[in-house]
Structure 1
Amino acid sequence: MTHEVTEHPLTEQTGPATAGVAGRRRWFSKGIWPSPGWLALIFALAVSVVTLTYYGVTERDLITFSAYSLFCVTLPGTLIWRALQGRAGFLPLDAAFGTTVGFAVELPVYMLARQADQPFAVLAWPIITIVAFIAVPRLRKFWRGNRERMSAGAAWSAALGTSFTLVSTAFSSFRYNSLNEPYQAVMHVDFPFQFALVGEFKHDVPLNTPWVTGVDLVYHWYVYAHGAAASWISGVEPQVLIMRLLPIPMIAAFMLVVIALAHRITGRWWPGNLAIGLMLLAPVTVPWAWTSRPMDSIVFIDNLWVSPTQTFAALFCIVAIYVLCGIFQADEGKQRRRPLPWIVLTLLIGAMAGAKATFVPMLICGLLLALGLRVIRLKLPGPELPALLIAGAWLAFAQLVLYGSGSQGTEVNPLQTVKYSTLGRAVMGTQNAINDWGILWAMSGISLGACLFGWACMAGLLRRGWRTDPIVHVMAGFAISGLGALYILAHPGLSQTYFGRSATPYLGILAALGLAALLPKGKRVPRRFFAVAVLGVAGGVTALQLIRNGVGKQGPISPLASWTVEQATLPYVMLLQAVAVVAVLTAVIGVIVRLRRSHVLAVATLAVSSVAVTSGVLINQGIVDSLFSGQPQRDIVAPGNFFAMPPGAIDAGRWLRDNSRPRDLVATNSHCRAQISPCDSRDFWLAAFSERQVLLEGWSYTEPAFATGTIWDRTLYRSHFWDPALLNRNDEIFVDPTAERVNSFTADHGVRWLVAVGTTQIPDPEAKGEIWASPELAQFATERYKAGDVTVYEVR
């Protein structure tokens, strides 16, 4: 195995272009058409604009957010990245790395500006950066590119991957989470939670949980500080940022860094293209025709909008691994060790630690595996050891400072994940604490097996040279720990699934690297290889289709406990057998036609991987059907959804935001999501739209709430409030107000505003019914605004 050892360990160098590529570039430079790379960018922008506009984003918001992203994040970050590496690289890749640098620099600058109550002061860093790179002669060269263009295929892979992710999210999330009235009130329960956190970071207020003041905010909150800075500078509402705009630059940059990482390791572009395809299409294989995903999968693009913490951290993580790869390559090339890459790595891991709790432990597992294998092989530690110490220090900081040593409801409880899957419910019924270990092991084995078809090409990493590559070890340990945590840990909100989603990109990269190892650079691949590969792929696809239209066609009669284990596992067992036969036959044909051993293994693994890719294409058939159905694809109330905010909630919240001070404290009688009985305490709308601290709204998603029970006690959404005396005093002033009660309560707690909802659920998870806010409250507080069922009072 060979690596491109670079002059600077932060980025790869570029070699001379081939005559054919140079000829095409001259043609494009002389013609009126832009280059293929620019065409890919134009395509991705067009898809984004059309999709976002259809789903309610205004032209003004698109323009201002784009200007903010370009001039306040990407441009200054790109200049800094080029200065760090000492030269310009490929423009799209520099922009992706620069976007990551911009995010990392913006965070501490914005927090300082926020602390000084001057949020617009965050603009100082991009302005100073741009001016410095114009004024300082030694820095001016970083405005110029290197006159090299990355592969057109790589550019189109990134563009198509970003577009696919956006369109897929549009049909799975945007159409059910509207920006338009009255459908805004049906949005996913976590969106108001996200808006409230952005609002918390827009103002110089103590870092408390916005919907229940006095409870420390122990959460991975870095992305919400980014959202707050974006909201101040662009003027876009937090709602629009979280539900539509904020993740898009992160996803585009992530796709480009996937390509850059594969290129740095292999010296070729196509493994990065393949990695993106496997990451998006091959994470789970489904031999069923009756449902899209019968088992909980590790699909990377799930929840990229609902959980922007995942999206933010994923970008920091892959750039950190890219920088770590450069450190390893410099060490292998016996180059002089420089402190700069280590400083960059330290900052990236620090950003990752506060962006999402799942990533640093997984990186530590990867570094431990790499360190252990190096010590076994060479008897000496290498760069893995200092990287491990850095990651360990950041993990300690995050756990002790950011997360307050809490677990947020996560516990070690193996094999619980499958109980929540479609097949798990069909076999085991409603989720409960009873563990039939035989069934759990069988269902977990099927669940894990469904995730492994797409990664068959990783077998190529066993070849000499590749099996000793430390960056391969890091990514393998990272991915293995993610899959392990998926099945070992349990959480009331299935948050353990984020470990699996975090692993998916690296499984795709490793599979692409494995195929690259089987098809070495510089060695000709005979035509008969492609013929045999096509035969293997056709056999795998045929096997999948036959099973989907045979034993996998009919679903369970009832969604709960209507199937045996044998019925649930039969299609997977048959698929495994059929694919094994196809792979063996393909390998035999390869031997007969005298392919090399590496090529024989390549055609066999391609036959297996094609099954997963085909399954991924079929799962997304619904997107195509929806596009050509002629039916509206927005403002839809999904089955089982309801209007979970009271009428007038958004207007009243925003009025309060515009007519109060950031440190004003608000009290309300709204503690439960509307139209849900018994009480669902994931009620965050007032904190979300007022951007104010609420004394006691809902209380879910807090450490004290999780501490009231286990994963089977409905602690995610129906826990009891831990201070019933405060709850009773709070509600008394709305239900049965007197001058003494109102004055005493508001004075004791420093409450300035009262927000009364005409009808609310009784805040007792076991009780049913409604409570009414008394109109007599107007005798003891001044009514300032009314919208729908919501009335805002100012304390006299």
Structure 2
Amino acid sequence: MALLAAVAAMFLRHYGVSPRETAVFATFVILGCTVPGVLLWRACRGGSRFAAEEMAAGTALGHVITVLTYVPARWTGHPLFVLASPVMVITVFLVVPRLRRYWRRTGDITRVPLACSWGGAALVGFVVLSTASGFFRQHGLTSPGYLRPYVDLPFHLGLVGELKHHMPPTQPFVSGEPLYYHWFAYADMAAISWVTGIEPQTLLYRLFILAASATSLMLFFAIARRLTERWWAGPAALAIGCLAWGPGMYSWEPSLWAGLLLRDDIAWRSPTHGFGMMLFAAVVLLLVDLLRRQRPGVAPWALLVLLLLGVMGAKATILPLLLAGLLVVVAGGLIAGRRPHRTAVMAALATLPCLLFAQLVLFGGTSDGMVVHPWSLFGTVGAEAASTPRPTAVLVIAVALVTMFGRGCAWVGALSLAFRRQTLCDPPVLLLAGIGGAGIAVAITLRFAGDSQIYFLHGAAPYLSVVAVCGLRAMLPERVDRRSLIALMVAAAVGVAVITMVGEAGGASRPTPEDAVRRVIGPFMLLIASGGVCAVGLVLAGRRRPGLRSLSPALALAFVCGLVLPATLLHARQMVRGLPLDPSTAVIGAGTLEAGRWLRDHSRPDDLVATNSLCGSGDGCDERHFAVAAYTERRVLVESWRFTARNHSIAARRGLPDGSVPFWDRPRLAANDAAFHHPSAEALRRLHDTYGVRWLFADASRDRPAAGLERFARLRYTAGDCRVYELTN
């Protein structure tokens, strides 16, 4: 891990992060999160496994404590009081004699086998740095690299600025609009920015997700190891979850649309998802222990409640998945033993209040534009397959069938558990299977604003990968002799040969809307037929050679792994080359960063800004513009209303796309427009006296303001296409 950290530091240096910033960030994470978190984890959970697991779990717990401390600290106007929690924890564990022993590792200390240790570290480093490289290339920290980010990133940056200066937070892009959102990740970054002095942009675009992703992967490693009691399961779960694609039966789409449904860079595109998955993994790791203990005691439950409080505001998709998984464990206990699993019931009762609080308070009781819309997730896939914005229903059903088959092949071990009742009924396995099943069910049944139902699938995918490893553990023989190993390799080779033949038969050109259904279904049916022939051959071989009969399930798994292998290797090669740049980008005017930071440094946190960088109704521009609030760290009268709860509600009620909803406060929009396009003493006085605007931020790259604006407002700063004006009484 030390080598991995050194490589990451050099990697960050190459992409514009100074060694000082990296060192200061690492110091805060270690002393402010990891050390106090590990101490509490050891004291409450009891026992010890291996160092990387404790460090990862302690880091996740430390971030929860940071957020829960920062909220009251910021609310009372003393954000640096966030340091009180790590100082207090460390002091208590130094002063109290019976707690000093937790500075040393306790319990069952195990050493990771060298091959698994290096293999796990290599996979974590490869996945994190390869996904980061593509993101870093598109998101520079200075001009011109920051001018075309992924379209949602300025939105996230604006919320970090909002949480840095205000508690409770509101929407900084529309003054006065409530913020019904999972905002704990932004509070965490705001706290780190206060303590370290690192710019929020550097945290968001470089440091925060890099560390959170590495921590999450180490926790998934630990969960797989804990469930199977096999060290190889950790690297296997990471490989399946991060690298495996479905069978590449189309040469024109070898990923089987995995790049649309399970993006490699999802944590970078959505920092709330990256942060939430880190905390979620710590919760699951703790629950695995609780579900297998007879009498866990009070301390682990206190630890679980603390983690649930952090998950509550980290990502809206997590608690529903967790509750669904716990209910599956309860149902499994009722079916298998005619009584519910006591620990699962207690965990569900602890989860439910957190879910209700999140829904009613943090999310304001809104549905976020949720509608029941089965198969909507595959509409984008069908459009991509046929290169048409309006795929037919038959095509959508076809790609849904093929896609689910492909993911089933990647997670074939999970499907094999249906034939291993003893393993399937293990409560932790049931928990993970329930999480995975709920994620898939919600993703293919409901539709949220901006197709956000995809995050349910992303939240479930790592746990389905761990369940798949549990299935492999149950299906593979304990010891594989030389003859059996040869048979398994032959079965995998046959799978590779079959998928190669199917891919070549499907043609290399992308389908047209007219022949898309035939081009999608044809190779799929050929693959099913080929697989059927191989299955019949396996049955016949088992009859002639009884020694192969007991190996038949393992041979079937090896065959499916052979089907998946070519596309998986192609995926790994693409990750080595770096992920392609995202075409969905925002356009930020030159000078926005410089002008925004000048305004931040010369204004008060409560000062209100008005800008011309917005879209009116039907003017044809992309209304997802958040850069003014992002770089000024100030609230804006109106900049973009696209991601507000009210916008989502109106869109769902009227059946409109999210981007087609006009702004509901037309007088405010008219007053804002008059100040920039028809400036007068009266227009600017109305903006100042009625709405409380103190500053004007004009961006000529989007909409050039009227020439006479300087007669009524004082020009204070110019950078690139941007000008900052101050309104005086």
TM (norm. structure 2) is: 0.93
Task: Report the AA paired with residue 338 of structure 1.
Answer: G
For residues 300 and 568 of structure 1, the distance between their equivalents in structure 2, rounded to whole angstroms, comes to: 22
- Contact 1:211–1:696 (CA under 8 A) maintained in structure 2: yes
CA deviation after TM superposition for structure 1 residue 119, in Å: 1.5
CA deviation after TM superposition for structure 1 residue 345, in Å: 2.0
Task: Report the AA paired with residue 280 of structure 1.
Answer: C
The 1:142–1:756 alpha-carbon spacing in structure 2 relative to 1, beyond 3 Å, is same
Aligned to 1:136: 96
The 1:323–1:591 alpha-carbon spacing in structure 2 relative to 1, beyond 3 Å, is farther
Q: Which of the residues 456, 469, 479 maps onto 2:412?
A: 456
For residues 586 and 273 of structure 1, the distance between their equivalents in structure 2, rounded to whole angstroms, comes to: 30
For residues 518 and 484 of structure 2, the distance between their equivalents in structure 1, rounded to whole angstroms, comes to: 39
For residues 167-566 of structure 1, what are the structure 2 equivalents within 5 Å?
167-295=129-257, 298-299=261-262, 301-331=264-294, 336-382=295-341, 383-421=343-381, 423-427=382-386, 429-431=388-390, 437-461=393-417, 462-519=419-476, 523-556=478-511, 561-566=513-518
The 1:428–1:192 alpha-carbon spacing in structure 2 relative to 1, beyond 3 Å, is closer
The 1:281–1:740 alpha-carbon spacing in structure 2 relative to 1, beyond 3 Å, is same
The 1:581–1:72 alpha-carbon spacing in structure 2 relative to 1, beyond 3 Å, is farther
For residues 542 and 59 of structure 2, the distance between their equivalents in structure 1, rounded to whole angstroms, comes to: 45
Give the gaps of 5 or more residues in structure 1: 1-40, 628-632, 761-770
Question: Does 2:725 correspond to 1:793?
Answer: yes
CA deviation after TM superposition for structure 1 residue 116, in Å: 2.0
For residues 204 and 777 of structure 1, the distance between their equivalents in structure 2, rounded to whole angstroms, comes to: 31
Aligned to 1:690: 632
CA deviation after TM superposition for structure 1 residue 205, in Å: 4.7
Task: Report the AA paired with residue 691 of structure 1.
Answer: E
Root-mean-square deviation (CA), in Å?
A: 2.6
For residues 312 and 530 of structure 2, the distance between their equivalents in structure 1, rounded to whole angstroms, comes to: 43
Helix, strand or coil at the partner of 1:493: helix
Aligned to 2:592: 649
- Contact 2:398–2:520 (CA under 8 A) maintained in structure 1: no
Give deviations 1:163-212, integer Å, cap 9, x for gaps: 22223313542222222311211111111111111111111354110111
For residues 640 and 108 of structure 1, the distance between their equivalents in structure 2, rounded to whole angstroms, comes to: 37
Give deviations 1:238-283, integer Å, cap 9, x for gaps: 1121122111222222222222222222222112221111111225
For residues 364 and 217 of structure 2, the distance between their equivalents in structure 1, rounded to whole angstroms, comes to: 33
Task: Report the AA paired with residue 313 of structure 1.
Answer: G
Aligned to 2:601: 658
Q: Which of the residues 613, 621, 636 maps onto 1:670?
A: 613
- Contact 2:423–2:429 (CA under 8 A) maintained in structure 1: yes
CA deviation after TM superposition for structure 1 residue 94, in Å: 0.8
The 1:171–1:256 alpha-carbon spacing in structure 2 relative to 1, beyond 3 Å, is closer
For residues 56 and 543 of structure 2, the distance between their equivalents in structure 1, rounded to whole angstroms, comes to: 43
- Contact 1:652–1:787 (CA under 8 A) maintained in structure 2: yes
- Contact 1:298–1:451 (CA under 8 A) maintained in structure 2: no
- Contact 1:157–1:276 (CA under 8 A) maintained in structure 2: no
For residues 176 and 677 of structure 1, the distance between their equivalents in structure 2, rounded to whole angstroms, comes to: 28
For residues 698-737 of structure 1, what are the structure 2 equivalents within 5 Å?
698-710=640-652, 715-737=657-679
- Contact 1:283–1:298 (CA under 8 A) maintained in structure 2: no
For residues 535 and 653 of structure 2, the distance between their equivalents in structure 1, rounded to whole angstroms, comes to: 42
- Contact 1:492–1:712 (CA under 8 A) maintained in structure 2: no
**How many positions carry a matched residue from both structures?**
722
Q: Which one has a larger percent helix, Structure 1 or Structure 2?
A: 2
Helix, strand or coil at the partner of 1:660: coil
Instruction: Judge which range, 218-227 or 149-158, deviates more.
Output: 149-158
The 1:195–1:270 alpha-carbon spacing in structure 2 relative to 1, beyond 3 Å, is same
CA deviation after TM superposition for structure 1 residue 381, in Å: 1.5
Task: Report the AA paired with residue 83 of structure 1.
Answer: A
Q: Which of the residues 704, 707, 715 maps onto 1:783?
A: 715
Instruction: Judge which range, 686-695 or 260-269, deviates more.
Output: 260-269
Task: Report the AA paired with residue 196 of structure 1.
Answer: G
Task: Report the AA paired with residue 482 of structure 1.
Answer: G
- Contact 1:754–1:792 (CA under 8 A) maintained in structure 2: yes
Task: Report the AA paired with residue 306 of structure 2.
Answer: L
Task: Report the AA paired with residue 491 of structure 1.
Answer: F
Give deviations 1:273-322, integer Å, cap 9, x for gaps: 21111111225333222345353554363311110111111122222222
For residues 777 and 753 of structure 1, the distance between their equivalents in structure 2, rounded to whole angstroms, comes to: 13
The 1:118–1:42 alpha-carbon spacing in structure 2 relative to 1, beyond 3 Å, is same
Task: Report the AA paired with residue 125 of structure 2.
Answer: S
Task: Report the AA paired with residue 376 of structure 2.
Answer: Q
Give deviations 1:44-75, integer Å, cap 9, x for gaps: 22442343233222222222211121111112
The 1:259–1:564 alpha-carbon spacing in structure 2 relative to 1, beyond 3 Å, is closer
CA deviation after TM superposition for structure 1 residue 597, in Å: 5.7
- Contact 1:185–1:645 (CA under 8 A) maintained in structure 2: yes
Aligned to 1:763: none
CA deviation after TM superposition for structure 1 residue 510, in Å: 0.7
For residues 680 and 743 of structure 1, the distance between their equivalents in structure 2, rounded to whole angstroms, comes to: 29
Moved over 6 A (4+): 711-714
Percent of residue pairs identical: 34
Give deviations 1:11-31, integer Å, cap 9, x for gaps: xxxxxxxxxxxxxxxxxxxxx
CA deviation after TM superposition for structure 1 residue 106, in Å: 0.8
Aligned to 1:768: none
Task: Report the AA paired with residue 496 of structure 2.
Answer: V
For residues 229 and 115 of structure 2, the distance between their equivalents in structure 1, rounded to whole angstroms, comes to: 15
Aligned to 2:111: 149
Question: Does 2:568 correspond to 1:616?
Answer: yes
Task: Report the AA paired with residue 174 of structure 1.
Answer: F
Give deviations 1:313-335, integer Å, cap 9, x for gaps: 1122222222222122113xxxx
For residues 289 and 537 of structure 2, the distance between their equivalents in structure 1, rounded to whole angstroms, comes to: 40
CA deviation after TM superposition for structure 1 residue 671, in Å: 0.8
CA deviation after TM superposition for structure 1 residue 643, in Å: 6.7
For residues 410 and 539 of structure 2, the distance between their equivalents in structure 1, rounded to whole angstroms, comes to: 18
